[in-house]
Structure 1
Amino acid sequence: MASPVNPPRGMRDFLPADKARREHALGVIREVYRAHGFDEIETPVVEDWSRLHAGLGGDNEKLSFSILKRGITPEALAAASEAGNAEQLADLGLRFDLTVPLTRFYASHRAELPPVFRAIQIAPVWRAERPQKGRYRQFVQADIDIIGESGALAEIELITATSEALSRLGLEGCVIRVNDRRILFGLLAHCGFAPDQHDRALITVDKLDKIGANGVVEELRELDDAAAERLGGVLAAIEPALVGDGIPLTGDAIRAVLPQDPAAGGEPSGLDAGVENLAGLGEALTGGLPEGVTLRFDPTLVRGMGYYTGTIFEIAHPGSGSSVGGGGRYDGMVGRFLGQDVPAVGFSIGFERVVDLISLPEDDGPDAVALVFDAEASPADLAALKRELVGRGHRVRLEKRQKNMKALLDRVAAEGFAGFANVRAGARRADELEIRPLA
C-alpha cells in the first residue's frame, strides 16, 4: 500500500468546508477594517535577507526561511556553511511577519501616502516553528497598522476596529489585555535593575505564564539577586488582582496595583507617562466596545518583540489556550529604514487560532443548490438548468444520483449547500424544479 502523501511538515491543506470558513472570516475582517477607514496593501512574500535580519524581528529572525543565492556553487555553499556565514549563502528570505515588510513599504512609498496612513495587510507568513497545535510553519496574519499618528487616537482606532471584527466573527468573551512598556521599564527600575539589564529582564518576565513567578525570580538572579527578589515581591502583590474579572483600565485601578516608591514620593520613576496613557485609553473606550469584548490592564504583559515602545495589547479568549491576537506601538521601527522617526502602532488578529473558534453562519435560504440528476438526464438540459440558476444568483453543483442519497446530501450540506432539487430526464427550465432546503 502506498504511503499517504502529506503536505510539508508544519503546513496544511484545506478541504472545501475549511476553506469556506476561512474565506468567510477573511471577508468579515476586511469589511470591518475597510469600514473603519483602513486601506489594503500587498507586499512581496520575500524581502532582502539583510532587512529580515536587521534586529527588528526579535526571536522571529532566528525562525526565518532563507533563500539561497542564485547560482551558488557547492564549494561556496560548503565554505559558507563551515564558516557559519548565512549572509554569504542567502540574499532573500520569506517574510516572518507583516510588520517588517510594512515599514519597508512605507519608507519606499511615503511620498504617495497620506500623512497618517491606515493599512490593512492580510497574507501568509512563514516561520521555521516546531509544529504543534496552534503553531504552523505557514500561517495567515491579519494586521491593521497606523503610521504617522503619535497620539492615543491611533490605539483607540485599532482597538475599536479589532473589537468590532471579533464581535462580527461571533467570538464572545474576548478580553483585550493592555499594558505600556514604559510601565514595565518603570517597574524594573523601581526594583533596582540597571537600564542596560531591562531588555534581558523583560525576556524573562515574558515567560511568567510558563515558568511562574518563582521561575522568573530564579532566572533573574543571574542579573541582580536583590532586584530579582524585589520583583518577586511586586509580582506576588499584583497576582491576586489579575484573577477573576481582572484589573479595569482606569487610572485609579492601575495605580492601586503598582508599587509606590517612597523616595519619589509617589509612583515609581518612569511610570507616569505609561499610566496616563492607559488611563486615557480606558476613558476614551468606555462604552465604545461591542458586547462580549472587555478591556483589562495587565502589568505583567510584555509581548516578546523588542521593538515595542509604548502601548502593547493582547487578546485572550476562553476557547484558546494561547492569545488570539496582539500588537503595540513601535515608534522607532520605521526610522530604521527612513532615517527619521515616524510614529507607528499595529494590531494583528491571530487568524489561524480565531478561525478554529468560529462557524459559518447559517444560510437564510437555499442560495447554494445541489441539482441531483438521473443518469438519463441530458448534458445539454443540465447545462441549461445550471446556467439559468447561476444567472438568478444561485451557486449550483451538479451531483449524479447515488443509491445512498443520505450520504450525498450530508456531504453537500457539509460543503455549504443549503438546498437541493431532483432533476428528472427532460427537465430544462428552473421553474420545473422543486428546490427544497437540505435542513
Structure 2
Amino acid sequence: MKKVAFYTLGCKLNFSETSTLARLMEQHGYERVEFNQQPDIFIINTCSVTDNADKKCRKIVREAQKINPDGYVAILGCYAQLKPKEISEIPGVDVVLGAAEKFRLHELMPTFVKVPAGQPAQVFNSPIEEAIDYHAAYSLNDRTRTFLKVQDGCDYPCAYCTIPLARGKSRSDTVANVVRAAHEIAGRGRATGAVKEIVLTGVNIGDFGSVNGEKEATFFDLVQALDEVEGIERFRISSIEPNLLTDEIIAFVAQSKRFVPHFHIPLQSGSNKILALMRRRYKRELYIDRVQKIKELMPNACIGVDVIVGHPGETDAEFKETYQFLNELPVSYLHVFTYSERPNTTALTIKPTVPGNIRADRSKMLHILSDKKRRAFYDSQVGQDATVLFEEDIADGQMQGFTENYVRVIAQYDPLLINEMLPVRLTAVNADGLMEVTEPELILEKH
C-alpha cells in the first residue's frame, strides 16, 4: 500500500476539496499519512490569490524533497490551473493537474511516472472553459469544524482577481445534495464525537443555485433547508458578497435555530471610485446598509471584512476614505490583503500603480485598525453568556474555542472539553486579546 500525504494552501474551499480527495485515495487503496512521515506521494493543493501563495508552493515542494527525495510530487489547485508550464519546470515536481483534472487524481495516478531530474513534469491541464462539472466536497477529521462546499467558480470579473480563470464559471450542487451531505457529516462524526459545526464554503456562495447552467435555487433556499438538519448544532456562512446578502437572509439568520450571528462580507474598498475600478457590483452605501441591518437585528453579531490596499489607482485620499469608512463602521475585524499583480487581470491596465512601500504602510495601518476593532468587539461582549465549541489546538496547557459570534475563547486544557459545545460567561479580555471565561471545571460540573 503506497503512502500519500496532502498539503493544502489557501482557503476553506481548498481544505474541503483536499479532504475529499484524500478519502477518495484511501478508497482506492492508498494509506494517508502526515507530510513528514516519509510518504511515497506528496499531493499539494495550491492557491494563487496572491504572489505569496505561488512562493509557498515552491517552498512546500522543496520540503517534500527533503523528506523523501524519491517521493512523487503532484501539484493541483488554482496555481496549477493558471501556470501549469511554470510549475512543471519546478525541480522535484512530477505532475500538474488542472481544475478539470484534479478530481480524477485517483484515476490518473496509475499513469503517473517519476520524472527524471532536469525534465519537466507531466501536465494534465484543460482550458478553464472545460471545468464545468461540479464536484461535491467536505472536510472531515481534519478540524473540529467541517467545511462543506456548496458552490464553485465565479462569474464576477473583478479587476484584480484570477479566480474565474482558475476555477471557471459559477456552478453549484443542488439543495437536496447539500442537505444530504450535511446529514452524512452528522452521521459520520469524528473520533472525539459528532461534528457540531459546519462552515458553508465556496468561491461565491451567495450565487448558489446554478446547476448545469440553469438557476434552480437560491442561497436563501439552501439556508432554510439546512436549518432543518438534525444532528448539526451550528451552521456558519464563510463569506458572502454584500450585494447577495439579502434582507431575507439576514432576517432568517437572526431567528435561525442553527445559523450563527457571524457574517464575513468582502468590502475591498471604502471608496466608490476604487470599487468601480475594481469592477465590484455595489457601492459603499449598500455595504453600510447591510451592516446596519445585521446590527439592527443581531446587536452582538460579529462582522468580518475583506479589504484590499494598494489597488492600482488608489491615491492617499482614497485610502484615507477607506480607513475612515472602516473606522466608523461597527464591524469586528478585518482581513487585509495587499494588492499584488496577477497575470491576465484588468487591474494591470489601471494607472497609476501604488509603490510597494506605500502598499505595505497602508496594510500596516489597517492591521492596527483591525486589532482595535477586534478588541472593541470583544470588550463589548464581556459579561455576556455564550456557547463555546472547544477545539483540539492546545498550547502551553491551554485550549481555545469559538463562541457562536466568533469570539475566540481561551481556557485551561481539559480533554473532556474537546469538541464540546458548552455555555460560558465571558469574563475578561486578556493581554493577548483572547477572551477568558468561567472556569471549565464549573462548566463541566453543571453538565
Q: Normalising by structure 1, report the TM-score.
A: 0.25
Which has the larger share of strand?
A: 2
Higher relative contact order at CA 8 Å, sep ≥6: structure 1 or structure 2?
Answer: 1
Bigger helix share: 1
